[in-house]
Amino acid sequence: MADKLIIVESPAKANTIKKFLGGSTKVVASMGHIRDLPKSKLGVDVEKDFEPEYINIRGKGDLIKELKKDAKDAKTIFLASDPDREGEAIAWHLAKILEDDKEKITRVTFNEITKNAVKKALDNSRNIDLNLVDAQQARRVLDRIVGYKMSPVLWKKVKRGLSAGRVQSVAVRLICEREEEIENFLPEEYWNLYATLLDEKSNTEFQAKLANMNDKKIEIHSKEDMDAILEDLKGTRYIVTEVKKGEKKRTPAPPFTTSTMQQEASRKINFSLKKTMSVAQTLYEGVKLPEGHTGLITYMRTDSTRISEEARAAAKKHITENYGENYYENRYYRTNKDAQDAHEAIRPAHIELRPEEIKQFLTNDQYKLYRLIYNRFMASQMAPAIFDTMSVNIKANDYDFKANGQTLKFKGFMTLYVEGSDKKEDDEEGILPALEEGQRVTKKKLDPKQSFTEPPPRYTEASLVKALEEKGIGRPSTYSPTITTIIERRYIEKEQKQLVPTELGKVVNKLLVENFSDIINVEFTADVESRFDKIAEGNEKWKDVIREFYGPFIKEVEKVEKELEHVELTYEESDVVCELCGRKMVYKYGRFGKFLACPGYPECKNVKSIINYIDIPCPVCKAKVIEKKTRRGKKFYVCENGPDNCNYISWNKPKVGEKWTPEMEKETNKKKATKRRTRKRKTTSKKK
């Protein structure tokens, strides 16, 4: 009989916590939620004041029996699901399942899975926070009503299998509106003039950019204007009229929130949102180190940049010992006014566990993300980088050229980490020679450059998360599943890193915006999020929010169902001609992705797979090579002449000039299989 039973969400987390506790404590996993709304129906009784109809999740019967048995045998039951609204709801559902033992039940949370944090949490247990539970219920019920009432409208008016959602549909709207901006964008011509100048004292060339004419900012919009300026500058002397020297400080970025972690992981290590959150979960729950299962980071769903004083002290010790006193700066960051601030920023749980020192115990993905989190946190507590700056004004007749330069004087936090950016850096600042006011510099050449204004960029996963966060749409836990859903629903496609709406996405978005404009908009979605926050704070009742929303919403649904005509989908036309009826085939989507179909269906039922040629010839016969995919999405390569006239087939993309034989392919695959087995053994041993 165990004195204490601790119920967490995952086996990995359970293994990590077991390491800290004695033998009289049992730690088990609920494997996430154990109760939820049924999938087969709405599951919300609108006639009984929106009471949710929760059921045990299918397949969890045996687990529930085990949990009840363990609860009977324990003196105290600690519900230790994740420290957020979703985790609070899981604890509440567990308490409902273990109703017979409710006198023994208490709630604990920890932001990091360390010995001190776990023991401190067990000593400071509390009741389940029903305000947090209600905030989660409000989100779940409202999203269920929106999804289950609006989606059937799409089935009837467009086609079956489509879905709508309170947050996902707003995300699709943002992407579609950005695409419209790009399509409607009219580029405008503009010119810049760069002068390459020589400082004869040091025999150093540098570049300056035309900035002003007659002390007013100059804008050049045509070649004729540029030619007139070049004519004015013929035979002109270039005189340095102003030299300003100064010092510039660059401060580090704050520790990661969920949003900034997702953005930086996308920029720096090319992780999708889904992958980032999956890998972060394993780092939080714990990996197997020589000393046992160890949680490496704090909780990864947070919108706060706050850190504990213990972590601050540990960072100070590490920085001063390894870099010196002058590299440390006690730094506090202001958290966004709309942040819940329930948890610390994402940081390493153990400062002493440097990424390089534990690399051998991590998967490659775990190492990359842990190093990113570790270095970002340490840099956030370091001194600013210091640059010596110099700005110069050079006069040529009525024209002013500007040049800026900087040299790094003290590296500070940049020793460890520099934040990435989605913006293009226009003018890189280099090093300027030691110029003096009044001196003449020699013109080596003038370089006029024509440019055109560019449309706004398409969203990437990272920039869409940033936009959703800035507009108050969703919360840290919702960004990844929202974007994953709209891609899986084929409303959006990823082209390289860019998110592009499909024709289906555009049609669905147009229908929803035109008919449910009060719901599928940024302001409504952001307002709902703020009301969820009020529920969590105990300042609003969750059923009041649902009640206020439901009346007008259901009337709108009924009106659209009655009045809206069926919407015919238009499909993107290809240049492939149907050999059966002569029509041009169109692109459609099926279970395994994009394919070609005859638009004459049902008269003509011809379909074809899409042939993707790569730009490298077949290593055997020099014909074209086709890229194909297995049903599980794994790529392989075949010759277009195969299999009758060429036996080339490979899992590996061919290389220019590569020689190939079936025996070489077998040897390569054998080596790869050995590496995969080795990685699998390592991963399995870590899980154990």
299 is catalytic: yes
For residues 374 and 381, give the distance between their C-alpha atoms in angstroms, rounded to a whole number: 11
Instruction: Determine contact, residues 98/70, Cβ cutoff 8 Å.
Output: no
* φ, ψ dihedrals at 88, nearest 5°: -65, -40
Instruction: Determine contact, residues 120/57, Cβ cutoff 8 Å.
Output: no
R_g over Cα of the chain? 31
With a CB cutoff of 8 Å and minimum separation 6, the contacts of 130 are 92
Considering 238, 299, 491, 637, which one is annotated as catalytic? Answer: 299
The encoded tokens of residue 563 equal: 């009045």
With a CB cutoff of 8 Å and minimum separation 6, the contacts of 204 are 198, 433
Hey, what amino acid is at 315? A
Of 586, 554, 556, 585, give the one whose Cα is nearest residue 572.
Answer: 586
For residues 238 and 200, give the distance between their C-alpha atoms in angstroms, rounded to a whole number: 13
Strand 204-213 relative to strand 216-217: parallel, antiparallel, unpaired? antiparallel
The encoded tokens of residue 5 equal: 């039973």
The encoded tokens of residue 399 equal: 């024209």
β-sheet bridge partners, residue 502: none
Instruction: Determine contact, residues 2/26, Cβ cutoff 8 Å.
Output: yes
Q: How far is CA 597 from CA 239, 502, 624, in A?
A: 69, 16, 24
Instruction: Determine contact, residues 442/197, Cβ cutoff 8 Å.
Output: yes
Instruction: Determine contact, residues 550/145, Cβ cutoff 8 Å.
Output: yes
Hey, what amino acid is at 400? D
DSSP track, 539-607: SS-HHHHHHHHHHHHHHHHHHHHHHPPPPPPP--EEEEEPTTT-PEEEEEEETTEEEEE-TTTTT---E
For residues 113 and 581, give the distance between their C-alpha atoms in angstroms, rounded to a whole number: 65
For residues 553 and 150, give the distance between their C-alpha atoms in angstroms, rounded to a whole number: 10
- Alpha-helix runs per DSSP H in 159-236: 168-184, 223-232
Of 459, 605, 579, 475, give the one whose Cα is nearest residue 528.
Answer: 475
Q: Number of H helices and number of E strands within the chain?
A: 18, 27
For residues 389 and 372, give the distance between their C-alpha atoms in angstroms, rounded to a whole number: 30
Residues designated catalytic: 299
